[in-house]
Chain A
Amino acid sequence: MKQHPATNRWRTIDIVVAAVIAVAFGVIFWAWGLLWRAVDPAFAFFPAGQAVMYGVWLVPAVLGGLIIRKPGAALFCEAVAATISALLGSEWGGITIVQGLIQGLGAELAFAAFRYRSFRLPTALLAGTLTGLGAALFDFFVWNVDYALGSYRIPYALLTVVSAAIIAGVGGWYLTRALAGTGALDRFPAARDRTLV
């Protein structure tokens, strides 16, 4: 079977499943927030350390790109996820959408750099790193300006990128494989690498 789809035109199933991934992550984020509050105070004394968990918010971008394998998938997934969290009443309102677009753009660039032909682990790692970079840049210039450069802004940005590379990049790749193993991706090229049953 072919590794990449025959055309770049999105099928209905591509659109809906990409959006559903975003929606599911909206729900997962909501539950993750509850869990976080339960195991929280660990970061009170080193707030920059919280960036370690940043990667979780960026998983949809990489996952969408790896599953759908079409131009725009990473961007669409992350932007829809952001819009959905805004519609569900995120406290950040409309700015989440802009943030989502910037983060999604990072992953999108990584897949585009390989001309939407490679969806292996190194590509995923790059995609995770670049969405992390998008997120880190936005926070660096928009939210963290007034904080000390050496002891906060830079470690925060670095941790964001590392966390995104590992959780969203590597994590997203393993997640795609695990999903393919359940048969849920049978109508996507991501599942074609699997052995027949």
Chain B
Amino acid sequence: MITLEPVAAPDAPLARRNPVAKLAAALVFSFIMIATLDPVAPAIAVAVELAVLPLFGVRFRVLARRAWPLLLGAVGILVTLVLFAAERSGRVLVEAGPVVVTSGVLLTALGLVLRMFAVALPGVIVFATTDPTDLADALIQNAKAPARFAIGALAAFRLVPLLGQEWQMISLARRARGVDAGRNPLAKLRLFVSTAFALLVGAIRRGTRLAVAMDARGFDAGTPRTVARRQRFGAADGLLIAGAAAVAGAALTVSVLLGTFRPLIG
């Protein structure tokens, strides 16, 4: 089931930072990491990411629960690369018909898998420690995002668990009407489509009512809004972003100095 429970200790030193700063730091870090294809820089990055985990108040178990699908992604990368690698340099390890596994292929695979983790984990960690209300507040107050759009999206976000429950109710109602798919995959797809459609209709109706309720409380009346919850962007927040850039840059530098660096473009 979908839940919106907070998954981390909210008062950990880095979890407490301004949500915009956390988001920016994660994006900066991910962008720098995306630029390389070698295994060394991402390996350093993943090590750093795991090391700062306690500072964000995220436990390893929580991270594992959120990020385990990445392991499937890793298997996917390995399989695809074995079948479709662009280059097959190095010593031949296995040869079976069209499948040629070389040490170069394995090294590339290692690089890609580590890079995927290095790029994805910062965002996973930051979103696990960020309350959506605080994020919207900070986007409006510190990143100059338009308030109407940020608050509108936030209000819609509140409907997520409700829609999750609604999905279940619609499915049950279909069964009550004598509609089920059994083992037929085509019938399964049809049932999925009709359930999704009912969910969408219900969601749009709810959204329409919500918008009217917001207007009724003066949401779009043209009066300048005040803010009840102040979000501050302090020196520590700036340092977090700079720190993320510095660590990622250092990882790249190590890779360049070791001669393993392989840029994405070029």
Contacts and interface: CB of A to CB of B under 8 A. Distances in A.
Direct contact of A and B (CB under 8 A): yes
Contacts of B80: 47, 147, 152
Contacts of A35: 188-189, 192
Q: How large is the interface on B (under 10, 10 to 19, 20 to 34, 35 or more residues)?
A: 35 or more
Interface stretch (A12-20, A111-119, A129-137): A12-20
B157 A23 contact: yes
Contact of B156 (A23, A28, A89, A182): A23
A121 to B, nearest CB: 19
Interface string B110-146: 0110000001111111111010100100000000000
Interface in B196-235: 196-197, 199-201, 203-208, 210-212, 214-215, 219-220
State which size class the interface on A falls in.
Answer: 35 or more
A166 interface: no
Contact of B185 (A12, A26, A39): A39
A92 B120 contact: yes
A12 B209 CA distance: 11
Given A27-B199, A31-B167, A89-B66, A146 B124 contact: no
A21 B112 CA distance: 34
Nearest to A35: B192
Contact of A185 (B156, B204, B206): B204
Describe A's contact surface by its main secondary structure: helix
Nearest to A63: B200
B107 to A, nearest CB: 10
Contacts of B69: 91
B172 interface: no
A24 B34 contact: no
Contacts of B207: 13, 16-17, 19-21
A127 interface: no
A86 interface: yes
A142 B196 CA distance: 31
A148 B153 contact: no
Interface in B221-266: 264-265
A173 to B, nearest CB: 15
9 contacts: A10-B148, A17-B204, A17-B207, A28-B200, A48-B84, A88-B160, A93-B119, A146-B108, A147-B84
Top-7 shortest CB links A-B: A93-B123, A94-B123, A20-B207, A19-B156, A15-B152, A152-B84, A24-B203
